[in-house]
Structure 1
Amino acid sequence: MKLSDFDFELPETAIALRPAEPRDSARMLVARGGDFADHVVRDLPRLLRAGDVLVFNDTRVIPAQLSARVGEARVDVTLHQRLGPWEWLAFVRNARRLRVGTRVEFGGGLLGEVAEKLPDGAVRWLFEAEVPLEVALERAGTMPLPPYIARKRGIDARDRADYQTVYAKEDGAVAAPTAGLHFTSELLAALDAAGVVRETLTLHVGAGTFLPVKTEDVREHVMHSEWGRIEADVAARLNAARAAGRRIIAVGTTSLRLLESAADDARVIRPFMGETAIFITPGHRFRGVDGLMTNFHLPKSTLFMLVSALMGREVMQAVYAHAIAAGYRFYSYGDSSLLLP
């Protein structure tokens, strides 16, 4: 597979800079095999069957974007992966200004020391503060909006709420599970009334989700790892649902990647706790899900490869061509799709 196989033309005007208001008024393109139709997200209860299981990712985005002055230069730090209570890997802009042992004051009482500079460009930080790290980050950090939004308009106070799902619970993500941004408490209640079952897992989304694929041979790309957990009782209920012939539909590619990591060759979902670096491309045999609700992704991204694996590359090229022509909004704050192979 070549990287160019997953390319398409996307106009700049298609990139959403703010979410729809209310959230569930976003448009949703529903694809069943090679057929697709236009809906809105609040139609979801009547588009699903009673007994279908939606699997949500309850990770909560932390204010993981930090900035400081080092000499005359500004250093921007995006936390990527937590290694310990006070230890993180991060991507750093202007990292050449840093040496091992450099101490940086980020404001809000948060101090960081460069513990290691890794060959891949990441930096390992040791933080300290007089309050818990989560509290210090709330004071010093800003929401880690995707680069394609932050570059266009910056980050403001609205993003603290906008870039968080209404059911977020477990602190640790540095990027939102964006398919879930479309849900409101009213939509969740309507799904319950329609007999749609809700289950929850946790996958802490890392900043590596925004890293571009740089190898023309897709198989040479090294996928980032992320920490996830599926509780034993959740796995048991998902397996019982599948045994009863009910569909398991992931809300977001993060939920899908964790379910696929936990499922065995017999399509049994096992309890899971740990890192996953699963890279899903066409040819993957899906074992954990029967469908996916997801936003519209970047050209040549690992996420467009994932949806192409689920639906077929030609189908997804047609779906995206329709979405672009019909004015759907793309990326994290954009519209949604419901993909049912």
Structure 2
Amino acid sequence: MDVDLFDFDLPPERIALRPASPRDAARMLVLDGAGPGGATRERLVSDLPGELRRGDLLVFNDTRVIPAQLEGMRGSRSGDGAQSAPGPRIGATLHKREGPRRWRAFIRNAKRLREGETIDFGEGVTATAADRAEDGSFALDFAGDEPVELLLDRAGRMPLPPYIAARRPTDARDADDYQTMFANEPGAVAAPTAALHFTPELMAALDAAGIGHVTLTLHVGAGTFLPVKVEDTDEHKMHAEWGRIDAATADRINATRAAGGRVVAVGTTSLRLIESAADNAGRVHPFEGDTAIFITPGVRIRGIDGLMTNFHLPKSTLFMLVSALMGLERMQEAYAHAIAQGYRFYSYGDASLLLPTRSA
């Protein structure tokens, strides 16, 4: 499909720089029914229990964001001790673990960095650049024997999305604001932002309403923010991310649907992993490994019955995903409505609840 079909104009003031407080006070646009003729309702996230039914199941991503943003200076070349010429500071955003001490990273000023050179990130943290890929990313091999997570705690910063980081610096609040209440498994470099809206109070209300929940793990990579630079969606290559669905979670998802309940993914990350694990009949199997699934209109979504998600970037793979679920025309109309009504967009913004099969 033509990537320009997924473009829209977004006023900069619609980009949220801080989350709602309390988190479940964010607005929520409910789209009930895919395609033309579906109902649209204005709600708050705290109204979610009333929009779901007893026996429904929410699926959360329990990945934990690590301080994956690093700034350093280019040092010597590995092996010969020769000093590189002075150059600009090197910025690194880790996006996928490739080994115990190796991470794939997007590099700022990558043209100034060569394989074999070291980067000093301060606080005793150094890494050697290796294996430059076609997309310009490098593998970084971290020196020493301390766990890389401890090194990042010393030298790294919370990796705020570029559309926020370009407008204000990261601060102490972001360490909490950019982490969900379900965060348990370290490894993500971007938050599963739909789950940022949830609070213990909201979870208690969902439990009281008979709405269950389970967790899976997908370590979100920085590739989620990369623009689609090709003209046709068939030419776009997704970055792989590691995920896991255990047997108990897969069984709970399948049992919910068999009993007539709806499985609602909280966030596109949860949806993408479920779809990676679902067979053609919609049955979800245990899964562990990489996924680079790319969901665009025309791809049949098999393993879920609804999606709660934030409002996404123009021409992004995530806007393509929601268009696959609800229909492109429906999502274009919904986003135009959200912009006109002052909804807040992106990671710290408001939510949408997408229910492709209209509720009774």
TM-score norm. by structure 1 comes to 0.98
How far residue 130 of structure 1 moved from its aligned partner, in angstroms, is 5.2
| Distance (Å, rounded) in 1 between the aligned partners of 2:163 and 2:248 | 38
CA contact (8 A) 1:58 1:202 kept: yes
The answer to whether the aligner puts 1:35 opposite 2:45 as a matched pair is no
Task: Provide the C-alpha distance between the structure 2 equivalents of 1:244 and 1:317, rounded to a whole number of angstroms.
Answer: 33
Query: What is the distance in 1 between the residues matched to 2:295 and 2:131?
Result: 31
Tell me how far apart the structure 2 counterparts of residues 129 and 145 of structure 1 sit (CA, whole Å): 27
Report SS of the residue matched to 1:84: coil
Is the Cα–Cα contact under 8 Å of residues 109 and 129 in structure 1 kept in the other structure? no
1:72 deviation in Å?
3.9
Alignment match, 1:60: 64
- Segments ≥4 residues shifted beyond 6 Å: none
User: Structure 1, unaligned stretches of length 5 or more?
Assistant: none
Cα-to-partner distance string for 1:237-264 (whole Å, 9 max, x where unaligned): 1111111111000000000000011000
Q: Deviation per CA, 1:49-97: give whole Å up to 9, x if none.
A: 1110000000000000000123341111000110011101000000122
Partner SS, residue 153 of structure 1: coil
User: Separation in 2 of the partners of 1:328 and 1:339?
Assistant: 16
* Distance across 1 between alignment mates of 2:148 and 2:110: 22
Whose Rg is larger? 2
Gaps in structure 2 of 5+ consecutive residues: 75-85
Matches within 5 A, 1:135-154: 135-154=150-169
1:95-174 pair list within 5 angstroms? 95-129=110-144, 131-174=146-189
Output the CA distance in 2 between the equivalents of 1:119 and 1:217. 19
Q: Deviations over 1:308-331 (max 9, x none)?
A: 000000100111111001000000
Q: Give the share of equivalent positions with the same residue, in percent.
A: 66
Q: 2:296 aligns with which of 281, 285, 296?
A: 281
Query: CA-atom RMSD, angstroms?
Result: 0.9
Counterparts of 1:283-322 in structure 2 under 5 Å? 283-322=298-337
Question: Are the counterparts in 1 of residues 312 and 319 from structure 2 also a CA contact under 8 Å?
Answer: yes
1:116-137 CA distance string (max 9 Å, x none): 2222201011002453211110
- Whichever residue aligns with residue 336 of structure 1, its letter is A
Answer yes or no: is 1:211 the counterpart of 2:215: no
Q: What are the Cα deviations for residues 281-317 of structure 1, in whole angstroms up to 9, with x where unaligned?
A: 0011111100000000011110000000000001001
- For the 8 Å contact 2:90–2:119, the answer to whether it is kept is no
Residues 64-73 or 251-260, more deviating: 64-73
> Does 1:331 pair with 2:346?
yes
Taking structure 2 as the reference length, the TM-score comes to: 0.93
What letter corresponds to residue 67 of structure 2 in structure 1?
P
Q: 2:49 pairs with 21, 29, 45, which one?
A: 45
Out of 238, 244, 268, the position equivalent to 1:223 is 238
Aligned to 2:304, what secondary structure does the other structure show? Answer: coil
CA distance in 1, matches of 2:147, 2:166: 30
2:81 corresponding residue in structure 1? none
Q: Is this contact kept in 1: 2:87–2:112, CA < 8 A?
A: no
Distance 1:216 1:119 in 2: 19
Query: In the TM superposition, what are the counterparts of 1:75-86 in structure 2 within 5 Å?
Result: 75-86=90-101
Letter in 2 for 1:150: A
Residue 134 of structure 2 aligns to a residue whose secondary structure is coil
